[in-house]
Structure 1
Amino acid sequence: MNAQIQHADDCVIRLENVSKAFGSSVVADRLNLTVAKGEIVALLGRTGAGKSTVLNMIMGNLAPDAGSIRVAGHDPNAEFKSLRGRMAVSFQTDRLLPWRTAVDNVALGLLILGTPKAKARETARLWLARVKLEGAEDRYVHELSGGMRQRVSLARALAVDPELVLLDESFSQLDHVTSQVLRADFSRIARQFGKTCLFVTHRIDDAVEMADRVLVLRPGAGVCLEERIGEAARDDPREKARLHDIIAAAMGEQPDD
C-alpha cells in the first residue's frame, strides 16, 4: 500500500519509488509518500520499521539507492543549500546550547541565516511568547524544565519561518501531561501559521492528537496503513479511541497498549 500521490505543486514533500538498503537489510522498498502544503502528517512505526531512515533521507542526510525525493521542489541530498532556512528540525533531545539563554538559543538560526542581531532577538522573543515562554527569555538552559527546553527547541525551529518543520520524536522524552499540552500548543501554532509538518513518532497518542493524516510503516518502510483525521475526530474521545485501536493493530500492538 502506498501513500496517496498528489499533484506536484501541492506537495512540499514527495517520495516516489524510494528504496534504501544497508547491506542486506532493506529499510525502504519502493516507498511513495507525499505531504501537502499546510498538512501535518505523522509517520509511525515500531523500531526497525524505517521511519528514522525515511526522515534522514528527507533531511538530506542520506541519499536513496533508487527513486526520487523532493522537498519544496529540491533534492534534499544533492541540493541541500537550496533548502537552507526553508526546512527546520526539532529533535528528541532539545540540543540547546547551555551557555546561551533561551532567547539567544532561539535567535541562533536567524543569526546563521544573516538576520541582524537586534531583529533576530526581537523575532526570538516573539516566538518564545507564542510557545508560552514569555518571561523565561533570559533564563539559561539549566534553569528550564524539560518541557520548557523543548518549547525553546520548537520556537527555534519556527523562528526562521520555515516552509517545512520536521519533528523527530520531539515529545517522547516528556511526561504524559507535559507532552499532551505541548502537542496541543504546537498543533495550534502550526495550523495558525499554515506550517507544513512531518513528524516521526512511535506513540499513537502523538499522531491521533496532532495529525491531519497518519501513515504507519511496516519493516522495510512500506506504508501499511493510511488514515485521515479530521478536526472533529481529534475532539471526539470515542473516535480517538477507535483510531488508536486501528493504528495499534497496524503496528502489531494490542488495542489497549
Structure 2
Amino acid sequence: MIELKGVTKEFVKPSGELHTVLHGINLQVGKGEFCSIVGPTGCGKSTTLSLIAGFEPATKGEVRIQGEPLSGINSQAVCMFQTENAFPWKTVIDNVSLGLRLKGVKKSEAYDEARGWIQRVGLKGFENHYPHQLSGGMRKRVGLAQCLIVQPKILLMDESFSALDVHTRHLMENELLKIWSETGASVVFITHDLEEAIALSDRVVVLSAGPGSSVKGNYRIELERPRNVAEIRFDPAFMRIHEQIWNDLRDEVMISYVHAANH
C-alpha cells in the first residue's frame, strides 16, 4: 500500500546551510497493516508522515502508493494530528459529515452516514453538541469519526492520543483497534511511547537519531488479536518484545540527547 524507496529529505536552514532530516529511508506498509514509527525527538517521524501524506516531496528517492509514484497530496490518506481536527463553530454531526459534504454527498445522506459513525465511536446523543462542550477524549472520538467516515485506504496518525490522560488514552486505543479491524485501512502511527506502539501494531519501525535519520530496526509484533491495550502490557511476550526494541531505541535516544546537549 505504501512504499518509501531510498527516501532522503533535506531542508535549507535560514542560515543557508543544508539540513538532512531523513537519509535513504526504505519502508513498506502492507494493505490493512498497522505500523508504528518510533524514535528519539527530532528524528524525522513527522516528516516521514508528511511525505506519505504528500504535504511535501522527497528530496531524493520515491514515495509510492499502491505501486504508483506519489505526486502532490495523497488522495488515499487522511490525517489525524495531536491538535484538534474539529471546527469549533460546527456541531459534532456537522464536523463528522464534513468530509462527505466536501465530496459532494447530499446533506441528508451525509448526516445519515455521520450518525452511524457517531454511534460507532460512542457519541450517540451528542450529535448537536459543539467541541467546547465535550471532553478531550470525546473530541478525539469526533476526530476519529471525521477521518474514517470517508473510508480512507490509509490512516496517518501523528501523536494523536498523547495529550489524553492514561485511562482515556487506553479507551481510545482500544476504540481505534476495534474500528481499524472493521475497516481494513493501512495505518501509520507516530508515537514517542514504545508501549503504545507495541500494544497497537503489527510492526514497529525504529528510526535512528537525527540528523540524517534512517531505519535502525524493523520488528514484527507477533501478539494475538484482538488486544486490550491496558492488559497486553503484562503479557510476558509483550515484555520480551519491549526489551528487544528498547535496546535499539535506547542507544538512539542517548545519541540524540548528546547531540542536543552539544548544540
Note if contact 1:44-1:203 (Cα within 8 Å) is conserved in structure 2.
yes
Q: Which moved more, 1:32-41 or 1:66-75?
A: 66-75
Structure 2 residue aligned with 1:249? 247
The match for 1:15 is 4
Answer whether contact 1:18 1:28 (CA < 8 A) is retained: yes
Deviation at 1:44, TM superposition (A): 0.7
Match of 2:109 among 114, 119, 125: 119
Which residue of structure 1 aligns with residue 23 of structure 2?
29
For the Cα contact (< 8 Å) 1:40–1:211, is it kept in 2?
yes
Query: C-alpha root-mean-square deviation of aligned residues, in Å?
Result: 1.7
Alignment of 1:75-114 (within 5 A): 75-76=69-70, 78-80=71-73, 83-84=74-75, 86-114=76-104
The answer on 1:240 being equivalent to 2:229 is no
Alignment of 1:32-47 (within 5 A): 32-47=26-41
Count, aligned residues = 239
Aligned residue type for 1:223? V
> 2:189, 2:96 → 1: CA distance?
20
Counterpart contact for 2:56–2:72, Cα < 8 Å: no
Cα distance between partner residues in 1 of 2:85 and 2:224 = 35
Identity %: 38
Equivalents in 1 of 2:218, 2:236: separation in Å? Answer: 19
Q: Which residue does 1:222 correspond to in 2?
A: 214
Match of 1:156 among 146, 149, 152: 146
How much does 1:46 deviate?
A: 1.3
Q: TM-score, normalised by structure 2?
A: 0.86
Summarize deviations over 1:128-181 as a string: whole Å, max 9, x none.
111111121211111100000001001100000111111111011111111111
201-210 or 156-165, which moves further after superposition? 201-210
Q: Which amino acid aligns with 2:114?
A: A
Gaps of 5+ in 1: 1-11
What does the per-residue CA deviation read over 1:38-86, in whole Å, with 9 as the maximum and x for residues that have no partner? 100001111111111111111111111110101234443x243xx43x2
Which of 121-130 and 150-159 deviates more? 121-130
- Structure 2 equivalent of residue 8 of structure 1: none
Q: Secondary structure at the match of 1:124?
A: helix
Separation in structure 2 between the aligned mates of residue 165 and residue 73 of structure 1, nearest angstrom: 17
SS at match of 1:48: coil
Describe how 1:172-251 pairs up with structure 2 within 5 A: 172-219=162-209, 220-232=212-224, 235=232, 237-251=235-249
Q: Which moved more, 1:64-73 or 1:39-48?
A: 64-73
The residue type equivalent to 1:22 in the other structure is F
Provide the C-alpha distance between the structure 2 equivalents of 1:75 and 1:95, rounded to a whole number of angstroms.
Answer: 28
Find the counterpart in structure 2 of residue 61 from structure 1: 55
Aligned to 1:129: 119
- TM-score by length of structure 1 reads 0.88
